[in-house]
């Protein structure tokens, strides 16, 4: 939840952006100080994505020889992901790292990433994200004030609950399951038979603890870095979604930068994505080990009944205008030829 410090900081950033303080073109030898660029995200400082965003920030500073000074605001101190996107849209901050699912509320095309069992697995995911499909999607939001620069692996999402493992969609009956606040994730839980409870990530721990929700779904690092494993003890490998994190930048700021600055920022972004792949793999392994030590039980699950339950969503996505082409192209790049493996 946002604190007073966060609110004050947001106000300060909004005022300074209105006054144009952070919108100057980078000091190109005019004796000005460095250009300050701000980036917000909602994970803690020990989370792997913070490590990789800090790497991005260092790379930008190095490549610009100190003419760009990056400030990273972790832990949702500037607000939820939705708020971080809004701050980026208005130019109060320059960058945000958010889940691709959150972008669905701004651009329907992005709903493709919340579609359960869209990707066969990690290989299929990386193949698509390293193709021109991802680049097309990054451009979809340019006319609403921001663009995507790169993606970060945020693993595979699975269900976890306080006390009842989710081995079959029937096990979701009557359970309140927190989802990311998007139409697609809400529909997914409804089709599987649970009661969807949309809320921002920062509210999940307390909601689990207080019994507002019975469970949620996320990658394994949420158990350790966000401490969800302290209260949710049953983690079931349903593997229903692989949703990338996306690094976005304010469109106006992007266009005000010089060509060299744009190139160096793009290069730094892509290099941090490669850096993150290994950081992420190790983080997931260690989250599983630590969670087992802390009493979390991991369950293997037959994914087929879950994938069958969400077939209506696949039909919807194959037909609706905003996603039909993306859906077709992504499925054609399937590495296994079957859904939900
Ligand atoms: C992932 C993702 C976050 C997102 C979170 C969520 O952890 O990386 O950006 O906020 O899911 O479930 O909301």
- Contact between 51 and 278 under an 8 Å Cβ cutoff? The reply is no
Shortest-distance atom of ligand 1 to CA 201: 13
**Least confident among 11-25, 187-201, 203-217:** 11-25
Residue 268 lies in a domain: yes
- Contact between 161 and 234 under an 8 Å Cβ cutoff? The reply is yes
Residue 135 lies in a domain: yes
Please say if the pLDDT value at position 43 is more than 50.
Answer: yes
Residue 258 lies in a domain: yes
Which residue, by CA, sits nearest to atom 10 of ligand 1? 201
Please say if the pLDDT value at position 7 is more than 90.
Answer: no
Please give the full DSSP string across 220-234, using - where no structure is assigned: THHHHTT-GGGT--E
Please say if the pLDDT value at position 68 is more than 70.
Answer: yes
Shortest-distance atom of ligand 1 to CA 219: 7
**CA torsion 49→52→54→55, rounded to 10°?**
180
Please say if the pLDDT value at position 246 is more than 80.
Answer: yes
Q: Assign 32 a pLDDT band (cuts: 50, 70, 90).
A: confident
At 212-239, the pLDDT tens digits run 999 999 999 999 999 999 999 999 999 9
- Contact between 239 and 307 under an 8 Å Cβ cutoff? The reply is no
- Look at residues 207, 200, 166, 199 and name the one whose alpha carbon lies nearest to residue 300: 166
At 126-157, the pLDDT tens digits run 999 999 999 999 999 999 999 999 999 999 99
- Give the chain's radius of gyration (CA, Å): 20
Which residue, by CA, sits nearest to atom 4 of ligand 1? 99
Task: Look up the CATH number of the domain holding residue 47.
Answer: 3.40.190.170
Distance 57 CA to ligand 1 centre (A): 21
pLDDT for residue 325: 98
Give percent of the chain above pLDDT 90.
Answer: 89
Three-state DSSP at 47 gives coil
Q: Is 245 in the pocket of ligand 1 (CB under 6 A)?
A: yes
**Mean pLDDT confidence for 170-180:** 98
Please say if the pLDDT value at position 336 is more than 80.
Answer: no
Please say if the pLDDT value at position 9 is more than 80.
Answer: no
| pTM of the model as a whole | 0.93
Q: Is 81 in the pocket of ligand 1 (CB under 6 A)?
A: yes
Q: Is 180 in the pocket of ligand 1 (CB under 6 A)?
A: yes
Which residue, by CA, sits nearest to atom 13 of ligand 1? 201
Residue 95 lies in a domain: yes
pLDDT for residue 341: 38
**Mean pLDDT confidence for 201-217:** 98
Residue 257 lies in a domain: yes
Strands (E) in the chain, as ranges, are 35-40, 68-73, 95-99, 146-152, 156-161, 176-179, 195-198, 215-218, 234-242, 245-250, 297-300
Shortest-distance atom of ligand 1 to CA 245: 8
At 302-326, the pLDDT tens digits run 999 999 999 999 999 999 999 999 9
Shortest-distance atom of ligand 1 to CA 179: 12
Which residue, by CA, sits nearest to atom 6 of ligand 1? 201
Residue 121 lies in a domain: yes
* CA 200 to mean position of chain CA atoms: 12
Domain hosting 102: range is 33-329
- Contact between 151 and 140 under an 8 Å Cβ cutoff? The reply is no
Residue 28 lies in a domain: no
Reported for 198-207, long-range contacts at CB under 8 A and 24+ positions apart, including other chains, are 200/42, 200/76, 200/80, 200/81, 200/82, 201/42, 201/76, 201/80, 201/81, 201/226, 202/1, 202/42, 202/76, 202/80, 203/1, 204/178, 204/228, 205/230, 205/231, 207/178
Q: Is 220 in the pocket of ligand 1 (CB under 6 A)?
A: no
At 12-28, the pLDDT tens digits run 565 565 555 444 444 44
Distance 21 CA to ligand 1 centre (A): 31
Mean pLDDT estimate for the chain:
93
Q: Is 99 in the pocket of ligand 1 (CB under 6 A)?
A: yes
- Look at residues 131, 114, 127, 38 and name the one whose alpha carbon lies nearest to residue 317: 114
Residue 334 lies in a domain: no
Q: How far apart, in whole angstroms, are the C-alpha atoms of residue 145 and residue 90?
A: 7
**Mean pLDDT confidence for 235-250:** 98
Distances (CA, A) of 287 to 106, 138, 232, 300: 32, 30, 14, 17
Q: How crowded is residue 331: how many other Cβ atoms within 10 Å of its Cβ? A: 18
- Look at residues 297, 299, 296, 308 and name the one whose alpha carbon lies nearest to residue 170: 308
Shortest-distance atom of ligand 1 to CA 41: 9
At 84-143, the pLDDT tens digits run 999 999 999 999 999 999 999 999 999 999 999 999 999 999 999 999 999 999 999 999
**Mean pLDDT confidence for 260-267:** 98
Domain total in the chain = 1
Q: Is 114 in the pocket of ligand 1 (CB under 6 A)?
A: no
Please say if the pLDDT value at position 56 is more than 70.
Answer: yes
pLDDT for residue 34: 98
Contacts of 179 (CB under 8 A, 6+ apart): 185, 186, 188, 189, 196, 197, 198, 216, 217
pLDDT for residue 337: 53
- 282 or 17, which is more confident: 282
Structure-block tokens of residue 158: 């699975």
Pocket test for ligand 1, best of 101, 229, 280, 287 (most atoms within 8 A of CB): 101
């Amino acid at each position: 939840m946002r604190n007073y410090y966060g609110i004050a900081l947001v106000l300060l950033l909004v005022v300074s952006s209105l006054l144009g303080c952070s919108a100057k073109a980078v000091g190109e030898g005019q004796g000005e100080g460095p250009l300050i660029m701000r980036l917000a995200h909602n994970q803690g400082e020990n989370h792997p994505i913070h490590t990789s965003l800090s790497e991005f920030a260092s790379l930008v500073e190095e490549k610009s020889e100190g003419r760009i000074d990056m400030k990273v605001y972790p832990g949702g101190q500037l607000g939820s992901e939705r708020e971080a996107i809004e701050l980026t849209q208005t130019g109060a901050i320059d960058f945000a790292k958010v889940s691709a699912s959150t972008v669905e509320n701004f651009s329907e095309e992005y709903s493709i990433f919340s579609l359960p069992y869209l990707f066969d697995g990690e290989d299929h995911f990386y193949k698509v994200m390293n193709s021109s499909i991802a680049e097309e999607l990054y451009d979809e939001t340019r006319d609403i004030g921001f663009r995507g620069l790169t993606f970060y692996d945020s693993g595979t999402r699975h269900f976890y609950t306080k006390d009842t493992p989710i081995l079959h969609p029937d096990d979701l009956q009557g359970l309140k399951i927190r989802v990311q606040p998007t139409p697609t994730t809400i529909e997914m839980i409804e089709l599987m038979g649970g009661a969807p409870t949309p809320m921002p990530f920062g509210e999940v721990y307390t909601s689990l603890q207080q019994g507002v929700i019975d469970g949620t779904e996320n990658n394994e690092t949420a158990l350790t870095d966000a401490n969800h494993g302290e209260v949710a003890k049953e983690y079931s490998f349903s593997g229903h979604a692989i949703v990338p994190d996306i690094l976005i930048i304010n469109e106006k700021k992007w266009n005000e930068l010089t060509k060299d600055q744009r190139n160096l920022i793009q290069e730094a972004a892509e290099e941090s994505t490669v850096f993150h792949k290994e950081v992420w793999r190790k983080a997931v392994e260690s989250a599983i080990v630590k969670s087992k030590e802390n009493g979390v039980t991991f369950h293997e699950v037959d994914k087929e009944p879950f994938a069958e339950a969400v077939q209506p969503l696949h039909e919807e996505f194959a037909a609706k205008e905003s996603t039909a082409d993306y859906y077709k192209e992504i499925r054609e790049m399937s590495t296994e030829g079957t859904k939900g493996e």
